[in-house]
Amino acid sequence: MTADPTARSLPREPLGDAHLRRLIVGQGLAAVVDALFLIWLTLFVLKLSQPGMATGFVLVAVALPRAALLLPAGVLVDRLGPARIAAGAAWLRVAVLLALGALVTLTSPSVTAVALLAALLGVADAAYFPAALALLPSVVPNDRLARVNALVQGAESGGDLIGPAVAAGVIAVVGFDATLGGIAALAALAAVALSMAARALRRGESAGDVVDPQPAEGEQLSTARALGAGLSYAWREPVVRGMLAAIALINIAVVGPVLVGGAVLADQRLGGAGSLGIVLSGFGGGSLAGSLVAGWRPPARRGWTVAGGVAAIGAGMAGLAAVDDVVAATAVVSLIGLGSAFLGVVVVATLQERVPQRLLGRVLSLVVLATVAFDPFSYMLAGVLVPLGTTPLFLVCGSAVLACAALVALSPAIRSLR
């Protein structure tokens, strides 16, 4: 099934390429803001208290509302339209950053106060992520979806690659207050760009060029029924079900083992814990390359590309079991990053094209949830396997991802994707 084709003609007339550029700039800046703020928040909490529970408490305060509200936010996106929700969430993010800036500048804040404001950012993220993904197919033709997704995800990968160094360096030079002010200014620029895109989209809707997504009969009665309809659709459609399962399994088998197991590997084989930063920078570089390649040359046979991307991630995880120097480890982790980013662009573009517009927010909220909700399980898995050694850890996780790649390749619905 595909979304309304009239919506995909929107970037040509009357909104044009300038509108599309604003949308890309807005989403790209929002991704950079996320990367910079995460480092700022971590370092600021470390300044307030000793390393340990306080840092974890604040990061959990961001993560919990984001994960808990993603699915209801998907319903809201489908009811009110992604343009309104994306712009509103972007401005909520600006308001929270300004409030946090005032708190930091004018008072001596407690960890609890910082955590409460950080939780509001988690709320904004829960609304923003599915809305931003669902907004793209409303304004981008099918043949440009992969390229636009690649640009947005490339900005996110670039932020992850340079964000830690930039944020830490700026904090060292101008301090926490001024750095947070700069982050808030970037967030405001992102909100302005997204708001301009949203207004242009609504003008197109008012002119009759776009049909605003309407809930199916019976879905408007309650949020629970609307959410159930989205979950039911995702379960019934083999392509959606298979891709969500693959994303969730990769998240469980990669995130914790790479971070936890990578730290142990660096300490035991790579010359010290400091080498972990070099290795993880390889992941960021690979992610940036994977995003750009996916946009520059969209695959003709998407099904086999999805299977190949999953297999590349599995091979990289298994390969970490054999590395014994920083160069090899960085190269292998770069392969994992490349496969992850390439896979992300292809999967998101495929779902944006195939899922009905009225269900798109709910389905894409499931994609985001599958990406972020399983981190605790991934860390638990790493904690259980690390005592056995890094070699068993990476071999088990790599084998699980390779088995997932085989299952994806055996699925007729995914294998036949073009």
- Helix ranges (DSSP H) in 81-141: 82-106, 111-139
393 has a pLDDT exceeding 60: yes
CA 314 to CA 303: how far, in whole Å? 17
For the packed helices 326-354 and 302-319, what is the interaxial angle rounded to 10 degrees? 150
From 128-142, 239-253, 311-325, the region with the lowest mean pLDDT: 128-142
Average pLDDT, the chain: 80
Average pLDDT over residues 229-249: 88
Q: Given this model, what pLDDT does residue 181 score?
A: 92
> Cis ω on the peptide bond leading into residue 14 (within 30° of 0)?
yes
Q: Given this model, what pLDDT does residue 197 score?
A: 77
Q: Given this model, what pLDDT does residue 205 score?
A: 53
Q: Given this model, what pLDDT does residue 219 score?
A: 45
146 has a pLDDT exceeding 90: no
pLDDT band at 203 (very low <50, low <70, confident <90, very high): low
pLDDT band at 204 (very low <50, low <70, confident <90, very high): low
CA 259 to CA 106: how far, in whole Å? 36
Q: Given this model, what pLDDT does residue 188 score?
A: 95
**Collapsing DSSP states into helix, strand and coil, what is residue 152?**
helix
pLDDT band at 214 (very low <50, low <70, confident <90, very high): very low
239 has a pLDDT exceeding 70: yes
pLDDT digits (tens, 9 = 90+) for 278-290: 777 788 788 888 8
Average pLDDT over residues 6-33: 65
Q: Given this model, what pLDDT does residue 110 score?
A: 86
Longest dimension (CA), the chain: 64
Range with the largest mean pLDDT of 22-26, 176-180, 225-229, 287-291: 176-180
pLDDT band at 163 (very low <50, low <70, confident <90, very high): low
94 has a pLDDT exceeding 80: yes
Q: Dihedral angle at the C-alpha atoms of 204, 153, 245, 402, nearest 10 degrees?
A: 150
Q: Given this model, what pLDDT does residue 52 score?
A: 56
% of the chain beyond a pLDDT of 70: 85
Q: Given this model, what pLDDT does residue 396 score?
A: 93
Q: Dihedral angle at the C-alpha atoms of 62, 65, 70, 74, nearest 10 degrees?
A: -110
Q: Which residue, among 150, 165, 155, 140, has the nearest Cα to 186 in the 3D structure?
A: 155
Interior/surface letters 27-45, b for 16+ CB within 10 angstroms, e for the rest: bbbbbbbbbbbbbbbbbbb
* Contact by Cβ (8 Å): 226, 360: no
Residue 27 C-alpha from the chain's centroid: 11
pLDDT digits (tens, 9 = 90+) for 64-91: 888 888 889 999 888 888 888 999 999 9
Q: Which two tokens stand for residue 190?
A: 């992102």
298 has a pLDDT exceeding 90: no
Average pLDDT over residues 8-12: 41
From 58-67, 127-136, 293-302, the region with the lowest mean pLDDT: 293-302
Residue 297's φ and ψ, nearest 5 degrees, are -135, 80
Q: Given this model, what pLDDT does residue 98 score?
A: 95
Q: Given this model, what pLDDT does residue 103 score?
A: 92
CA 133 to CA 149: how far, in whole Å? 9
Residue 277 C-alpha from the chain's centroid: 21
Q: Which two tokens stand for residue 230?
A: 């989205």
% of the chain beyond a pLDDT of 90: 13
Interior/surface letters 318-344, b for 16+ CB within 10 angstroms, e for the rest: bbbbebeebebbbbbbbbbbbbbbbbb
pLDDT digits (tens, 9 = 90+) for 98-109: 999 999 998 888
Q: Given this model, what pLDDT does residue 49 score?
A: 72
Taking the model in full, what pTM does it have? 0.77
Q: Given this model, what pLDDT does residue 273 score?
A: 62
3 has a pLDDT exceeding 70: no
310 has a pLDDT exceeding 70: yes
